[in-house]
């Protein structure tokens, strides 16, 4: 006859016993760079439910613009992702708005866990934990930033070594040194 045995009644301490319950993993902790969606230039854009609301709109005030990280061979740079552009991923790099055709990761903006904090000159605001968006070839961290170009909020990158915020817009790389925003955890 079959008898049901509860885990709490089990006396086995053998870790290889398959009838032991799985270990508790505790609370899910957000990784330092956030949960991301991997994409490339040929990927279909994910559903709005996955990507959440865009943190920005393009100059037409209609087209959504998201935050992301462009993956290069020896570095990862924060970028903007504008699904209405081809390619969608644009990186402020080398004085231009670099069109990125390789892999990039979209970071869904969650206002319940993330906040944009005003800063200047590459500073990390005291008491805030910035969300890392990438790193330079030498390992120096880069963070997600939001700069204003002619009244348009544009996602880009910042770092203490940059002394400001660099964004890709209208074909160029724009450098904003004062009153831009850095993305931080709440």
Chain segment 53-106, per-residue pLDDT in tens: 999 999 999 999 999 999 999 999 999 999 999 999 999 999 999 999 999 999
Extended beta strands in 63-176, E state: 64-71, 76-81, 89-93, 96-99, 104-107, 114-119, 129-130, 132-135, 141-149, 152-159, 164-169, 172-176
Digit-coded pLDDT (tens) for 168-186: 999 999 999 999 999 999 9
Measured CA to CA, the distance from residue 177 to residue 163 in angstroms comes to 6
Measured CA to CA, the distance from residue 19 to residue 31 in angstroms comes to 31
The answer to whether residue 161 is domain-embedded is yes
Measured CA to CA, the distance from residue 186 to residue 178 in angstroms comes to 22
Evaluate if residue 10 carries a pLDDT over 70.
Answer: no
The answer to whether residue 152 is domain-embedded is yes
Per the structure, the count of domains in the chain is: 1
The answer to whether residue 12 is domain-embedded is no
Helix and strand element counts for the chain (H, E) = 1, 15
Max Cα separation, the chain?
78
The answer to whether residue 5 is domain-embedded is no
The answer to whether residue 2 is domain-embedded is no
The answer to whether residue 172 is domain-embedded is yes
Measured CA to CA, the distance from residue 159 to residue 163 in angstroms comes to 7
Handedness of CA 55, 59, 64, 65 (dihedral sign): negative
Q: What is the pTM of this model?
A: 0.82
Determine which of 26-40, 130-144, 164-178 has the lowest per-residue pLDDT on average. 26-40
The answer to whether residue 25 is domain-embedded is no
The answer to whether residue 79 is domain-embedded is yes
The residue range of the domain holding 82 is 37-185
């Amino acid at each position: 006859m079959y008898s049901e045995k509860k885990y709490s009644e089990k006396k086995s301490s053998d870790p290889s016993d398959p009838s032991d319950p799985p270990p508790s993993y505790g609370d899910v902790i957000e990784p330092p760079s956030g949960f991301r969606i991997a994409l490339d230039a040929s990927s279909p854009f994910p559903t709005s439910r996955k990507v959440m609301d865009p943190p920005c709109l393009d100059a037409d005030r209609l087209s959504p613009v998201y935050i992301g990280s462009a993956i290069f061979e020896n570095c990862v740079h924060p970028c903007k992702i504008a699904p209405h552009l081809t390619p969608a991923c644009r990186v402020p790099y080398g004085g231009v708005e670099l069109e990125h055709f390789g892999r990039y990761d979209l970071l869904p903006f969650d206002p319940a866990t993330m906040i944009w904090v005003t800063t200047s000159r590459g500073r990390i605001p005291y008491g805030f934990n910035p969300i890392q968006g990438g790193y330079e070839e030498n390992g120096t961290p880069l963070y997600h930033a939001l700069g204003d170009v002619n009244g348009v909020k544009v996602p880009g990158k910042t770092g203490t070594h940059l002394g400001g915020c660099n964004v890709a817009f209208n074909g160029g790389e724009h450098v904003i040194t004062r009153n831009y925003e850095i993305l931080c955890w709440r």
